[in-house]
Amino acid sequence: MIKKLPIIKSIFIFAIPILFANLISSGYQLVDAFWVGRLGPLAVAGVANAGSIMFLMMSIGIGFSIAGGALTAQYFGAKDQKMINKTSAQTILASVLASIILSLIAFFSLKPFFRLIDVPSDVLPYALSFAKVALIGTVFNFAFMMFQSVMRPIGEMRTPIYIGLLSVALNFFFDPFFIFGFHSIPAMGVSGAAMATIVTQSIAAAIGFYILFNGKHGIKLHLKDFVPDFSFIKRTFFLGLPGSIEMGSRSFSSVILMFLVNIFGGTAIAAYGVGGNVFILTTIMPCMAFSIAVSILVGHKLGAGDKKSAREVANLGMFITFIIVAFFSVFAFIFAKNLLQFFIPNDSSILELGIFYLRVIALAAPLISLQFSASAILRASGNMMSSMMVSLISIWALQIPIAFYLSKYAGYGVKGVYISGLFSSFLIGIFIIFYLKYNKWENKNLIKNINNDQDKNKDNILKKDIEEEMLIDIAR
């Protein structure tokens, strides 16, 4: 056990700041939920539906974040500062461009999308109002997300936290002004919550870019670093594509689940939305923090060529994540009513259904942590396809079919949608334990593969130059 203490210490050193950063990041949704809750259940349901398309947008862009974070971690382990800077700049560039394209597509697809998931007519105006404004700020959200993803692997954890704290505090301050109006600021309702978030996220993104160009925190970017290197972007795109598919699949599954929930009306939607927010805060955030910490350390070990330590970090990290998430899950289960009353102070029907949902999903959370940890470990080692397949099996072969059966055919109604996560998490959790034990995931090396590709390209260019010189000599 003494030998494992440095690993455990390192996991906590990375995980705790990431947890705070994630909690701060979720503060946008929680602050919005707090103020929007004062507008009534229809407004809450509208924001919950709008959140499904926003999550879908973010999940597609996360592929670049995953690829950039994995490459940065391995280059940091290999002590290659030049490639750390290049990876940071090119992945930020690709992510920002992708955010602009995706937000434009989503903006003009809102009504068909909401019709597709059968948003109730009385909820639809709120969903459209929030989403139309929120999509404008996607580029700032992507930019700050990428800033965090490249700072974490080099061990710079505090700076994103400070920026996040500032932006959430500003969001809490601006929200009531934009939602309810103040002097010359008109009352914008739910769209006001989205507007406040845009303002504060743009400030966070601007500070993040200033820090990256300033160069005092381990990464120093120059404008020339943003000149598109299409071969690198292409490689990063295909490296991150499985991650985008995986996260996109997760978010699209949430759309399908939202469709099922919408069938049962506004009370079911509001309970699902608010219960989900509390669940994210109390269990998913710790789960993500420790999973990301483990993935960073695994990346460092693999970048340094230490496969044995990489597997040891992975095994110990999964166990620690499971225990931590189990602790938070017990807390959420016991205090479900108290936590939900903060967001739904005056609606007993929503509260009752929300308590049921939160307690069921809290039981599933430790099992969900196994999937999060496994996916993070596989992505850190470059096994993006394996991580994607685990996720697809969990969602489309298990949770969605179970949710349909329980809610529509077994007579459980909306509670069947809630329960489906517990069944699917149990089955996939067992699969993951055996998969990681017998799969040789640590044999893959991202930066070695990229360097080999670059050497091949150089050899091809050199060969081509020699052939051209020979043809010139022959012509002479």
Reported pTM: 0.67
- Between CA 435 and CA 279, with CA 328 as vertex, the angle to 5 degrees is 85
Residues with pLDDT less than 70, the chain: 1-5, 25-29, 59-64, 251, 344-347, 444-476
pLDDT value of residue 224: 83
The Cα 193–Cα 172 span in angstroms is 9
370: in domain: yes
User: What's the pLDDT at 207?
Assistant: 92
Q: What Å distances lie between residue 381 and 49, 64, 235, 385, CA to CA?
A: 35, 15, 16, 11
pLDDT of residue 300: 81
Would 450 be classed as within a structural domain?
A: no
Query: For position 445, what pLDDT does the model report?
Result: 61
CA–CA separation, 208 and 217 (whole Å): 11
* 182: helix, strand or coil: strand
Q: Is there a contact between 35 and 193 (Cβ–Cβ < 8 Å)?
A: yes
In a domain, 465, yes or no: no
Q: Is residue 285 part of a domain?
A: yes
pLDDT score recorded for residue 446: 61
* DSSP assignment of 43-91: HHHHHHHHHHHHHHHHHHHHHHHHHHHHHHHHHHHTT-HHHHHHHHHHH
Based on the number of CB atoms within 10 Å of its own CB, is 144 exposed (0-12), middle (13-18) or buried (19 or more)? buried
365-385 pLDDT per residue, tens = 888 888 888 888 887 777 777
CA distances from 397 to 24, 421, 425, 432 (A): 33, 12, 12, 15
Angle at which helix 307-334 crosses helix 348-380, to 10 degrees, equals 180
Q: What pLDDT score does 420 carry?
A: 85
Give domain status of residue 332, yes or no: yes
What residues contact 181, with CB distance under 8 A and at least 6 apart? 187, 188
Write down the residue that tokens 């400030």 correspond to. 203
Q: Which tens digit of pLDDT belongs to each residue from 228-286? A: 888 777 777 777 777 777 777 776 777 788 778 878 877 887 788 778 778 877 777 88
Cα gap 51→134, rounded to integer Å = 9
Total tally of structural domains belonging to the chain: 1
pLDDT value at residue 455: 46
Residue type, 414: V
Q: Is 120 helix (H, G, I), strand (E, B) or coil?
A: coil
Q: What pLDDT was estimated at residue 447?
A: 60
Q: How many CB atoms lie within 10 A of CB 476?
A: 5
Return the number of other C-beta atoms located less than 10 Å from residue 12's C-beta: 15
Q: Does some domain include residue 193?
A: yes
291, 12, 168: which is closest to 160 by C-alpha? 168
Please indicate, yes or no, if residue 453 is contained in any of the structural domains: no
Dist. CA 202–CA 136, nearest whole Å: 11
3-state secondary structure of 184: coil
Report helix, strand or coil for 185: strand
| pLDDT for the residue numbered 421 | 80
Tally of CB atoms within 10 A around 405: 14
Indicate the burial class of 120 (C-beta count within 10 angstroms; 0-12, 13-18, 19 or more). Answer: middle
Burial class (CB in 10 A: 0-12, 13-18, 19+), 17: buried
Inside any domain, residue 462: no
Domain carrying residue 350: 2-444
Q: Residue 235 and residue 231: Cα distance in Å, rounded?
A: 6
